[in-house]
A and B are shown apart, each in its own frame.
Chain A
Amino acid sequence: MTERSQKEIWRLSPWLTLILLMANFVLMAWDARTESNQRVLRVWAQTVAVFFQSPVNFLVTTVTEYFQSYVELRGAASENERLKQRIHELEIKLQNAEQLAAENERLRSLLGLKESYKGTVLMASVIGRDPSKWFGSVIINRGSLDGVKVNMPVITTGGVVGRVITVAPLTSQVMLLTDEKSGAGGAIIGELGNSTALGVLRGTGKKDLLEMRYVPGTVEVETGESVYTSGQDGIYPAGLKIGEIVEIKKGSTTTPHVIYVKPTADLSSVKEVAVLLYEGQKVERDDKIKR
Protein backbone atom coordinates (compact mmCIF):
# COMPACT_ATOMS: atom_id res chain seq x y z
CA MET A 1 0.00 0.00 0.00
CA THR A 2 1.43 3.33 -0.98
CA GLU A 3 1.72 6.05 1.63
CA ARG A 4 0.08 9.34 0.76
CA SER A 5 2.44 12.27 0.63
CA GLN A 6 1.83 15.20 2.99
CA LYS A 7 1.12 17.44 0.03
CA GLU A 8 -1.53 15.04 -1.23
CA ILE A 9 -3.16 14.93 2.24
CA TRP A 10 -3.28 18.73 2.38
CA ARG A 11 -4.84 18.83 -1.06
CA LEU A 12 -7.48 16.21 -0.23
CA SER A 13 -8.41 17.27 3.30
CA PRO A 14 -10.65 20.30 2.48
CA TRP A 15 -12.70 18.15 0.08
CA LEU A 16 -12.97 15.31 2.54
CA THR A 17 -14.01 17.76 5.27
CA LEU A 18 -16.70 19.14 3.01
CA ILE A 19 -18.01 15.65 2.17
CA LEU A 20 -18.06 14.57 5.83
CA LEU A 21 -19.75 17.80 6.91
CA MET A 22 -22.39 17.34 4.22
CA ALA A 23 -22.95 13.71 5.27
CA ASN A 24 -23.38 14.74 8.90
CA PHE A 25 -25.72 17.54 7.91
CA VAL A 26 -27.90 15.16 5.87
CA LEU A 27 -28.03 12.84 8.92
CA MET A 28 -29.09 15.74 11.13
CA ALA A 29 -31.73 16.94 8.71
CA TRP A 30 -33.12 13.40 8.45
CA ASP A 31 -33.17 13.05 12.23
CA ALA A 32 -34.81 16.44 12.75
CA ARG A 33 -37.80 15.63 10.57
CA THR A 34 -40.86 16.10 12.71
CA GLU A 35 -43.11 13.95 10.55
CA SER A 36 -41.41 10.69 11.48
CA ASN A 37 -42.19 9.41 14.95
CA GLN A 38 -39.54 6.74 14.89
CA ARG A 39 -35.98 7.74 14.03
CA VAL A 40 -34.78 4.79 11.94
CA LEU A 41 -31.11 5.72 11.75
CA ARG A 42 -30.93 6.31 15.49
CA VAL A 43 -32.52 2.91 16.17
CA TRP A 44 -29.78 1.16 14.21
CA ALA A 45 -27.04 3.22 15.80
CA GLN A 46 -28.47 2.52 19.24
CA THR A 47 -28.84 -1.21 18.56
CA VAL A 48 -25.14 -1.46 17.73
CA ALA A 49 -24.05 0.85 20.56
CA VAL A 50 -25.97 -0.96 23.27
CA PHE A 51 -23.89 -4.14 22.87
CA PHE A 52 -20.86 -2.15 24.01
CA GLN A 53 -22.62 0.18 26.40
CA SER A 54 -24.40 -2.44 28.51
CA PRO A 55 -21.28 -4.29 29.76
CA VAL A 56 -19.45 -1.00 30.39
CA ASN A 57 -22.37 0.42 32.31
CA PHE A 58 -22.76 -2.81 34.30
CA LEU A 59 -19.10 -2.71 35.27
CA VAL A 60 -19.21 0.96 36.23
CA THR A 61 -22.44 0.58 38.21
CA THR A 62 -21.11 -2.47 40.08
CA VAL A 63 -17.92 -0.70 41.12
CA THR A 64 -19.75 2.54 42.04
CA GLU A 65 -22.42 0.71 44.03
CA TYR A 66 -19.77 -1.29 45.90
CA PHE A 67 -18.14 1.90 47.16
CA GLN A 68 -21.48 3.58 47.78
CA SER A 69 -22.74 0.64 49.86
CA TYR A 70 -19.61 0.81 52.00
CA VAL A 71 -20.19 4.52 52.67
CA GLU A 72 -23.89 4.06 53.28
CA LEU A 73 -23.30 1.23 55.77
CA ARG A 74 -21.89 3.72 58.24
CA GLY A 75 -25.16 5.61 58.53
CA ALA A 76 -27.36 2.50 58.41
CA ALA A 77 -28.29 2.36 62.13
CA SER A 78 -29.70 5.88 62.30
CA GLU A 79 -31.46 5.41 58.98
CA ASN A 80 -33.04 2.20 60.27
CA GLU A 81 -34.57 4.08 63.20
CA ARG A 82 -35.85 6.78 60.89
CA LEU A 83 -37.36 4.24 58.51
CA LYS A 84 -39.16 2.43 61.35
CA GLN A 85 -40.78 5.70 62.32
CA ARG A 86 -41.66 6.33 58.66
CA ILE A 87 -43.35 2.89 58.44
CA HIS A 88 -45.65 3.82 61.32
CA GLU A 89 -46.54 7.09 59.64
CA LEU A 90 -47.19 5.36 56.33
CA GLU A 91 -49.38 2.72 57.94
CA ILE A 92 -51.65 5.46 59.23
CA LYS A 93 -51.68 7.11 55.80
CA LEU A 94 -52.43 3.77 54.14
CA GLN A 95 -55.47 3.24 56.33
CA ASN A 96 -56.73 6.70 55.36
CA ALA A 97 -56.02 5.98 51.70
CA GLU A 98 -57.94 2.71 51.83
CA GLN A 99 -60.94 4.55 53.23
CA LEU A 100 -60.66 7.16 50.48
CA ALA A 101 -60.29 4.48 47.78
CA ALA A 102 -63.41 2.73 48.98
CA GLU A 103 -65.28 6.02 48.97
CA ASN A 104 -63.93 6.83 45.52
CA GLU A 105 -65.02 3.45 44.19
CA ARG A 106 -68.49 3.96 45.58
CA LEU A 107 -68.79 7.42 44.02
CA ARG A 108 -67.43 6.16 40.67
CA SER A 109 -70.01 3.42 40.53
CA LEU A 110 -72.63 5.98 41.36
CA LEU A 111 -71.53 8.20 38.50
CA GLY A 112 -71.14 5.26 36.15
CA LEU A 113 -67.58 6.20 35.27
CA LYS A 114 -65.20 3.71 33.83
CA GLU A 115 -61.56 3.50 34.71
CA SER A 116 -59.66 5.37 32.03
CA TYR A 117 -56.51 3.28 32.21
CA LYS A 118 -56.26 -0.46 32.61
CA GLY A 119 -52.98 -0.99 30.78
CA THR A 120 -50.07 -3.30 31.39
CA VAL A 121 -47.02 -2.07 33.23
CA LEU A 122 -43.58 -3.18 32.11
CA MET A 123 -40.71 -2.93 34.58
CA ALA A 124 -37.38 -1.70 33.18
CA SER A 125 -33.91 -0.69 34.36
CA VAL A 126 -31.95 2.35 33.31
CA ILE A 127 -28.83 1.06 31.54
CA GLY A 128 -27.41 4.33 30.31
CA ARG A 129 -27.64 8.08 30.45
CA ASP A 130 -27.16 10.78 27.87
CA PRO A 131 -23.40 11.09 27.25
CA SER A 132 -23.57 14.87 26.88
CA LYS A 133 -24.79 17.55 29.28
CA TRP A 134 -26.97 19.13 26.60
CA PHE A 135 -29.82 16.64 26.86
CA GLY A 136 -31.40 14.58 29.61
CA SER A 137 -32.42 11.28 28.08
CA VAL A 138 -31.92 7.81 29.53
CA ILE A 139 -31.69 4.38 27.90
CA ILE A 140 -33.81 1.54 29.34
CA ASN A 141 -33.42 -2.19 28.80
CA ARG A 142 -36.82 -2.72 27.15
CA GLY A 143 -37.50 -2.35 23.46
CA SER A 144 -39.89 -3.20 20.67
CA LEU A 145 -39.52 -6.93 21.39
CA ASP A 146 -41.12 -6.26 24.78
CA GLY A 147 -43.95 -4.26 23.23
CA VAL A 148 -42.60 -0.76 23.86
CA LYS A 149 -43.67 1.90 21.37
CA VAL A 150 -42.83 5.54 20.76
CA ASN A 151 -44.54 8.05 23.10
CA MET A 152 -45.38 5.49 25.79
CA PRO A 153 -45.21 7.08 29.26
CA VAL A 154 -42.51 6.06 31.72
CA ILE A 155 -43.10 6.39 35.46
CA THR A 156 -41.40 5.57 38.73
CA THR A 157 -42.57 5.40 42.34
CA GLY A 158 -42.36 9.19 42.71
CA GLY A 159 -44.29 10.08 39.57
CA VAL A 160 -43.86 10.62 35.84
CA VAL A 161 -40.32 10.25 34.45
CA GLY A 162 -40.91 11.02 30.77
CA ARG A 163 -41.87 9.41 27.49
CA VAL A 164 -40.27 6.99 25.05
CA ILE A 165 -38.77 8.77 22.02
CA THR A 166 -36.85 6.00 20.24
CA VAL A 167 -37.43 2.26 20.31
CA ALA A 168 -34.74 -0.23 19.31
CA PRO A 169 -35.40 -4.00 19.45
CA LEU A 170 -33.75 -4.42 22.86
CA THR A 171 -33.63 -0.89 24.25
CA SER A 172 -35.55 2.37 24.28
CA GLN A 173 -34.58 5.97 24.75
CA VAL A 174 -36.64 7.95 27.24
CA MET A 175 -36.79 11.75 27.18
CA LEU A 176 -37.01 13.04 30.72
CA LEU A 177 -39.77 15.46 31.75
CA THR A 178 -37.29 18.19 32.52
CA ASP A 179 -35.66 18.02 29.14
CA GLU A 180 -36.23 21.10 27.08
CA LYS A 181 -37.58 19.11 24.16
CA SER A 182 -40.35 17.40 26.16
CA GLY A 183 -42.57 20.41 25.74
CA ALA A 184 -41.97 20.78 22.03
CA GLY A 185 -42.17 17.12 21.04
CA GLY A 186 -45.22 16.28 23.07
CA ALA A 187 -46.70 19.02 25.22
CA ILE A 188 -47.75 17.74 28.63
CA ILE A 189 -51.10 19.09 29.68
CA GLY A 190 -51.08 19.19 33.44
CA GLU A 191 -53.92 19.63 35.85
CA LEU A 192 -53.70 21.41 39.18
CA GLY A 193 -54.67 19.27 42.16
CA ASN A 194 -57.02 21.71 43.90
CA SER A 195 -58.62 23.78 41.16
CA THR A 196 -58.34 21.26 38.25
CA ALA A 197 -57.20 24.16 36.05
CA LEU A 198 -55.17 23.07 33.03
CA GLY A 199 -51.77 24.27 31.82
CA VAL A 200 -48.95 23.26 29.50
CA LEU A 201 -45.77 21.91 31.09
CA ARG A 202 -42.35 22.15 29.53
CA GLY A 203 -38.78 21.55 30.69
CA THR A 204 -36.59 24.44 31.70
CA GLY A 205 -33.33 22.67 30.93
CA LYS A 206 -32.60 22.49 34.65
CA LYS A 207 -32.71 18.96 35.95
CA ASP A 208 -35.24 19.57 38.71
CA LEU A 209 -37.67 22.17 37.40
CA LEU A 210 -40.63 22.34 35.02
CA GLU A 211 -42.48 25.39 33.83
CA MET A 212 -46.29 25.39 33.68
CA ARG A 213 -47.88 27.98 31.43
CA TYR A 214 -51.31 29.11 30.31
CA VAL A 215 -52.97 28.63 33.71
CA PRO A 216 -55.52 31.48 33.89
CA GLY A 217 -54.46 34.29 36.18
CA THR A 218 -57.80 34.24 37.93
CA VAL A 219 -57.28 30.70 39.27
CA GLU A 220 -56.11 30.44 42.89
CA VAL A 221 -52.78 28.62 43.03
CA GLU A 222 -50.63 27.78 46.05
CA THR A 223 -47.10 26.54 46.47
CA GLY A 224 -46.97 22.91 47.50
CA GLU A 225 -50.04 22.07 45.40
CA SER A 226 -49.73 18.87 43.35
CA VAL A 227 -49.85 18.76 39.54
CA TYR A 228 -51.22 15.69 37.73
CA THR A 229 -51.46 14.59 34.11
CA SER A 230 -54.80 15.46 32.57
CA GLY A 231 -54.87 12.82 29.84
CA GLN A 232 -55.61 15.45 27.22
CA ASP A 233 -52.17 15.45 25.60
CA GLY A 234 -52.67 12.01 24.07
CA ILE A 235 -49.45 10.71 25.66
CA TYR A 236 -49.95 10.37 29.41
CA PRO A 237 -53.05 8.82 30.99
CA ALA A 238 -54.91 11.02 33.45
CA GLY A 239 -54.12 11.08 37.16
CA LEU A 240 -50.35 10.49 37.20
CA LYS A 241 -48.50 12.75 39.58
CA ILE A 242 -46.02 15.06 37.85
CA GLY A 243 -44.78 17.16 40.73
CA GLU A 244 -45.43 19.92 43.21
CA ILE A 245 -45.54 23.69 42.76
CA VAL A 246 -42.47 25.44 44.16
CA GLU A 247 -42.77 28.95 42.74
CA ILE A 248 -45.52 31.07 41.22
CA LYS A 249 -45.26 34.23 39.13
CA LYS A 250 -48.76 35.52 39.70
CA GLY A 251 -50.81 36.51 36.69
CA SER A 252 -53.81 38.77 36.44
CA THR A 253 -57.19 38.68 34.76
CA THR A 254 -55.50 39.24 31.41
CA THR A 255 -52.19 37.41 31.91
CA PRO A 256 -51.75 33.77 32.92
CA HIS A 257 -49.72 32.50 35.87
CA VAL A 258 -46.20 31.16 35.29
CA ILE A 259 -45.80 28.23 37.65
CA TYR A 260 -42.62 26.30 38.44
CA VAL A 261 -43.09 22.65 39.28
CA LYS A 262 -40.57 20.35 40.91
CA PRO A 263 -41.00 16.77 39.65
CA THR A 264 -41.70 14.27 42.42
CA ALA A 265 -39.74 11.55 40.64
CA ASP A 266 -36.01 11.71 41.33
CA LEU A 267 -34.92 12.18 37.73
CA SER A 268 -31.21 12.61 38.35
CA SER A 269 -30.70 9.18 39.89
CA VAL A 270 -33.58 7.11 38.56
CA LYS A 271 -32.63 3.44 38.19
CA GLU A 272 -35.81 1.37 38.05
CA VAL A 273 -38.77 2.58 36.00
CA ALA A 274 -42.07 1.26 34.69
CA VAL A 275 -43.22 1.67 31.10
CA LEU A 276 -46.98 2.02 30.78
CA LEU A 277 -47.99 0.09 27.69
CA TYR A 278 -50.46 2.84 26.99
CA GLU A 279 -51.15 4.30 23.61
CA GLY A 280 -52.94 7.58 23.93
CA GLN A 281 -55.40 8.80 21.38
CA LYS A 282 -53.50 10.22 18.45
CA VAL A 283 -54.74 13.52 17.20
CA GLU A 284 -54.70 13.34 13.42
CA ARG A 285 -53.58 16.57 11.81
CA ASP A 286 -55.70 17.72 8.99
CA ASP A 287 -53.83 20.43 7.17
CA LYS A 288 -56.43 20.85 4.48
CA ILE A 289 -58.96 23.46 5.42
CA LYS A 290 -62.41 22.17 4.74
CA ARG A 291 -64.58 24.85 3.42
Chain B
Amino acid sequence: MEQVRLFIALTLSILLQWAVRSIAEPLAYIDFPLIVVVYAALQGNTIRALFLATIAGISIDALSGGLLGANGFSKTLVVYLASEIARRVYMENLLLRVLLLASLSLIHGFVYYGVHRLLGQTMTDDFLSLIFYYTLATTIAGVFLFIILDTLILEGLSGVKKYEFFSIRRQPRRRNPIRLGRRL
Protein backbone atom coordinates (compact mmCIF):
# COMPACT_ATOMS: atom_id res chain seq x y z
CA MET B 1 0.00 0.00 0.00
CA GLU B 2 2.89 2.32 0.84
CA GLN B 3 4.32 1.63 -2.60
CA VAL B 4 1.08 2.63 -4.35
CA ARG B 5 0.80 5.79 -2.28
CA LEU B 6 4.37 6.75 -3.10
CA PHE B 7 3.73 6.21 -6.80
CA ILE B 8 0.59 8.36 -6.64
CA ALA B 9 2.51 11.09 -4.80
CA LEU B 10 5.24 11.01 -7.45
CA THR B 11 2.71 11.17 -10.31
CA LEU B 12 1.00 14.15 -8.69
CA SER B 13 4.34 15.89 -8.17
CA ILE B 14 5.28 15.41 -11.85
CA LEU B 15 1.89 16.76 -13.00
CA LEU B 16 2.30 19.70 -10.64
CA GLN B 17 5.80 20.38 -11.97
CA TRP B 18 4.51 20.39 -15.56
CA ALA B 19 1.82 22.93 -14.72
CA VAL B 20 3.58 25.01 -12.08
CA ARG B 21 4.95 27.64 -14.47
CA SER B 22 1.42 28.39 -15.70
CA ILE B 23 0.35 29.11 -12.12
CA ALA B 24 3.23 31.35 -11.05
CA GLU B 25 6.72 31.77 -12.51
CA PRO B 26 8.67 31.73 -9.17
CA LEU B 27 7.14 28.36 -8.22
CA ALA B 28 9.21 26.77 -10.98
CA TYR B 29 12.23 27.01 -8.67
CA ILE B 30 10.71 24.21 -6.57
CA ASP B 31 11.57 20.67 -7.65
CA PHE B 32 8.53 18.73 -6.41
CA PRO B 33 9.59 15.33 -7.83
CA LEU B 34 13.01 15.66 -6.15
CA ILE B 35 11.36 16.07 -2.75
CA VAL B 36 9.23 12.96 -3.32
CA VAL B 37 12.13 10.78 -4.52
CA VAL B 38 14.36 11.86 -1.63
CA TYR B 39 11.49 11.00 0.70
CA ALA B 40 11.21 7.60 -1.00
CA ALA B 41 14.96 7.06 -0.51
CA LEU B 42 14.64 7.78 3.21
CA GLN B 43 12.06 5.00 3.57
CA GLY B 44 14.79 2.36 3.23
CA ASN B 45 13.93 0.70 -0.09
CA THR B 46 16.77 1.93 -2.29
CA ILE B 47 15.82 -0.07 -5.39
CA ARG B 48 12.30 1.36 -5.49
CA ALA B 49 13.62 4.89 -4.88
CA LEU B 50 16.17 4.58 -7.70
CA PHE B 51 13.53 3.53 -10.22
CA LEU B 52 11.20 6.33 -9.09
CA ALA B 53 14.04 8.85 -9.47
CA THR B 54 14.77 7.79 -13.04
CA ILE B 55 11.07 7.84 -14.01
CA ALA B 56 10.58 11.29 -12.45
CA GLY B 57 13.70 12.68 -14.10
CA ILE B 58 12.85 11.49 -17.60
CA SER B 59 9.24 12.71 -17.25
CA ILE B 60 10.47 16.21 -16.44
CA ASP B 61 13.06 16.12 -19.21
CA ALA B 62 10.41 15.15 -21.77
CA LEU B 63 8.83 18.59 -21.58
CA SER B 64 11.96 20.56 -20.82
CA GLY B 65 14.39 22.28 -23.15
CA GLY B 66 17.29 20.44 -21.50
CA LEU B 67 18.80 17.11 -22.47
CA LEU B 68 16.62 14.03 -22.15
CA GLY B 69 18.09 12.03 -19.26
CA ALA B 70 19.90 14.90 -17.52
CA ASN B 71 17.30 15.16 -14.78
CA GLY B 72 17.12 11.36 -14.57
CA PHE B 73 20.89 11.17 -14.16
CA SER B 74 21.12 13.78 -11.41
CA LYS B 75 18.05 12.52 -9.56
CA THR B 76 19.29 8.90 -9.61
CA LEU B 77 22.66 9.99 -8.24
CA VAL B 78 21.09 12.13 -5.54
CA VAL B 79 18.71 9.35 -4.48
CA TYR B 80 21.58 6.88 -4.19
CA LEU B 81 23.44 9.35 -1.96
CA ALA B 82 20.29 9.89 0.12
CA SER B 83 19.75 6.18 0.68
CA GLU B 84 23.41 5.60 1.55
CA ILE B 85 23.26 8.41 4.13
CA ALA B 86 19.94 7.09 5.48
CA ARG B 87 21.60 3.68 5.89
CA ARG B 88 24.29 5.12 8.13
CA VAL B 89 22.62 8.03 9.90
CA TYR B 90 19.40 8.08 11.90
CA MET B 91 17.18 10.26 9.68
CA GLU B 92 13.83 10.19 11.46
CA ASN B 93 14.26 13.74 12.65
CA LEU B 94 12.81 16.52 10.51
CA LEU B 95 15.70 18.97 10.93
CA LEU B 96 18.20 16.41 9.68
CA ARG B 97 15.97 15.52 6.76
CA VAL B 98 15.66 19.17 5.74
CA LEU B 99 19.42 19.65 5.95
CA LEU B 100 19.87 16.55 3.83
CA LEU B 101 17.35 17.82 1.27
CA ALA B 102 19.13 21.18 1.06
CA SER B 103 22.49 19.50 0.42
CA LEU B 104 21.00 17.12 -2.13
CA SER B 105 19.22 19.98 -3.98
CA LEU B 106 22.55 21.77 -4.21
CA ILE B 107 24.28 18.65 -5.56
CA HIS B 108 21.39 18.06 -7.98
CA GLY B 109 21.71 21.61 -9.32
CA PHE B 110 25.45 21.33 -9.89
CA VAL B 111 25.23 17.84 -11.45
CA TYR B 112 22.43 18.97 -13.78
CA TYR B 113 24.47 21.98 -14.87
CA GLY B 114 27.66 19.93 -15.11
CA VAL B 115 26.29 17.19 -17.39
CA HIS B 116 24.88 19.80 -19.76
CA ARG B 117 28.24 21.55 -19.96
CA LEU B 118 30.00 18.21 -20.34
CA LEU B 119 27.91 17.45 -23.40
CA GLY B 120 28.54 20.84 -24.95
CA GLN B 121 25.24 22.53 -24.14
CA THR B 122 25.10 26.26 -23.56
CA MET B 123 23.57 27.20 -20.23
CA THR B 124 22.84 30.44 -18.43
CA ASP B 125 25.89 32.34 -17.13
CA ASP B 126 24.02 33.13 -13.95
CA PHE B 127 23.79 29.50 -12.86
CA LEU B 128 25.01 30.12 -9.29
CA SER B 129 22.06 32.32 -8.37
CA LEU B 130 19.71 29.90 -10.13
CA ILE B 131 21.06 26.99 -8.07
CA PHE B 132 20.83 29.08 -4.90
CA TYR B 133 17.16 29.96 -5.44
CA TYR B 134 16.43 26.39 -6.54
CA THR B 135 17.97 24.98 -3.34
CA LEU B 136 16.21 27.52 -1.14
CA ALA B 137 12.78 27.02 -2.72
CA THR B 138 13.04 23.22 -2.80
CA THR B 139 14.17 23.07 0.84
CA ILE B 140 11.34 25.31 2.07
CA ALA B 141 8.76 23.35 0.09
CA GLY B 142 10.38 20.12 1.32
CA VAL B 143 9.68 20.98 4.98
CA PHE B 144 5.94 21.05 4.32
CA LEU B 145 5.90 18.22 1.81
CA PHE B 146 7.78 15.84 4.12
CA ILE B 147 5.15 16.41 6.82
CA ILE B 148 2.32 15.92 4.32
CA LEU B 149 3.95 12.78 2.85
CA ASP B 150 4.55 11.30 6.31
CA THR B 151 0.92 11.91 7.20
CA LEU B 152 -0.47 10.50 3.97
CA ILE B 153 1.90 7.67 3.20
CA LEU B 154 3.05 6.25 6.50
CA GLU B 155 0.11 6.83 8.80
CA GLY B 156 -2.72 7.01 6.29
CA LEU B 157 -5.86 7.78 8.18
CA SER B 158 -4.80 6.01 11.35
CA GLY B 159 -3.24 9.02 13.01
CA VAL B 160 -0.66 11.74 12.76
CA LYS B 161 2.99 10.99 13.40
CA LYS B 162 4.65 12.70 16.32
CA TYR B 163 7.68 14.49 14.97
CA GLU B 164 11.05 14.21 16.54
CA PHE B 165 12.48 17.64 15.99
CA PHE B 166 15.64 16.74 17.85
CA SER B 167 17.36 13.41 17.60
CA ILE B 168 16.83 10.87 20.33
CA ARG B 169 19.82 10.21 22.50
CA ARG B 170 20.84 6.65 21.88
CA GLN B 171 21.31 4.62 25.04
CA PRO B 172 24.08 2.04 24.86
CA ARG B 173 23.34 -1.40 26.17
CA ARG B 174 24.76 -1.97 29.61
CA ARG B 175 27.16 -4.81 29.59
CA ASN B 176 26.87 -7.55 32.07
CA PRO B 177 29.64 -7.07 34.67
CA ILE B 178 29.72 -10.79 35.44
CA ARG B 179 30.42 -11.63 31.81
CA LEU B 180 32.99 -8.89 31.63
CA GLY B 181 34.62 -10.35 34.69
CA ARG B 182 34.64 -13.81 33.14
CA ARG B 183 36.43 -12.50 30.12
CA LEU B 184 39.09 -10.96 32.22
A contact residues vs B (CB 8 Å cutoff)? 4, 6, 9-10, 12-14, 16-17, 20-21, 23-32, 34, 39, 41-42, 45-46, 48-49, 52-53, 56-57, 59-61, 64, 128-137, 139, 165, 173, 175, 179-181, 183-184, 204-206, 268
9 nearest A-B residue pairs (beta carbon): A135-B65, A205-B124, A27-B69, A45-B62, A137-B65, A129-B21, A24-B73, A28-B69, A13-B46
Residues of B within 8 A of A20 (CB): 50-51, 53-54, 72, 76
Cross-chain contact A205 with B126 (CB below 8 angstroms):
yes
> Once bound together, how far apart are the Cα atoms of A59 and B12, in whole Å?
14
B161 located at the interface, meaning its Cβ lies under 8 Å from any Cβ of chain A in the complex: no
B67 located at the interface, meaning its Cβ lies under 8 Å from any Cβ of chain A in the complex: yes
B77 located at the interface, meaning its Cβ lies under 8 Å from any Cβ of chain A in the complex: yes
Residues of A within 8 A of B113 (CB): 134
Residues of B within 8 A of A30 (CB): 68
> Once bound together, how far apart are the Cα atoms of A41 and B69, in whole Å?
10
> Once bound together, how far apart are the Cα atoms of A4 and B46, in whole Å?
11
Stretch in contact with the other chain, from B114-122, B143-151, B152-160, B173-181: B114-122
Cross-chain contact A45 with B68 (CB below 8 angstroms):
yes
CB-nearest residue of chain A to B28: A133
Chain B binding surface, main DSSP class = helix
Residues of A within 8 A of B76 (CB): 17, 20-21, 24
B130 located at the interface, meaning its Cβ lies under 8 Å from any Cβ of chain A in the complex: yes
B93 located at the interface, meaning its Cβ lies under 8 Å from any Cβ of chain A in the complex: no
Cross-chain contact A49 with B22 (CB below 8 angstroms):
no
Cβ-defined partner of A41 (8 Å) among B31, B68, B70? B68
Q: Report which residue of B15, B58, B67 has the largest number of chain A beta carbons within 10 angstroms of its beta carbon.
A: B67
B167 located at the interface, meaning its Cβ lies under 8 Å from any Cβ of chain A in the complex: no
The A-contacting residues of B in range 18-67, CB under 8 angstroms, are 18-23, 25, 28-29, 31, 44-47, 50-51, 53-54, 57-67
10 interchain pairs, CB-CB under 8 A: A12-B47, A13-B46, A20-B53, A23-B54, A25-B115, A53-B19, A128-B63, A131-B18, A131-B21, A134-B112
Cross-chain contact A64 with B23 (CB below 8 angstroms):
yes
Cross-chain contact A28 with B115 (CB below 8 angstroms):
yes
Beyond A24-B76, A135-B65, A204-B125, list 14 extra A-B contacts (CB 8 Å). Answer: A4-B47, A13-B50, A13-B83, A21-B73, A24-B73, A26-B69, A31-B69, A32-B120, A49-B59, A59-B19, A60-B23, A61-B22, A132-B64, A173-B65
Cross-chain contact A17 with B125 (CB below 8 angstroms):
no
B contact residues vs A (CB 8 Å cutoff)? 15, 17-23, 25, 28-29, 31, 44-47, 50-51, 53-54, 57-73, 76-77, 80, 83, 87, 112-113, 115-116, 119-126, 130, 133-134
Cross-chain contact A32 with B130 (CB below 8 angstroms):
no
> Once bound together, how far apart are the Cα atoms of A226 and B127, in whole Å?
30
Residues of A within 8 A of B123 (CB): 134, 180, 205
> Once bound together, how far apart are the Cα atoms of A240 and B74, in whole Å?
40
Given A134-B66, A137-B65, A175-B65, A56 contacting B45 (CB threshold 8 A) = no
CB distance from A67 to the nearest CB of B (A): 11
Given A53-B19, A64-B23, A128-B22, A24 contacting B64 (CB threshold 8 A) = no
Cross-chain contact B68 with A17 (CB below 8 angstroms):
no
Given A16-B47, A132-B60, A27 contacting B68 (CB threshold 8 A) = yes
CB-nearest residue of chain A to B113: A134
CB distance from B1 to the nearest CB of A (A): 14
> Once bound together, how far apart are the Cα atoms of A183 and B80, in whole Å?
36
CB-nearest residue of chain B to A17: B80
Given A21-B77, A32-B121, A53-B18, A131 contacting B54 (CB threshold 8 A) = no
Residues of A within 8 A of B20 (CB): 131
CB distance from A54 to the nearest CB of B (A): 10
> Once bound together, how far apart are the Cα atoms of A181 and B120, in whole Å?
11
Residues of A within 8 A of B71 (CB): 132
CB distance from A11 to the nearest CB of B (A): 10
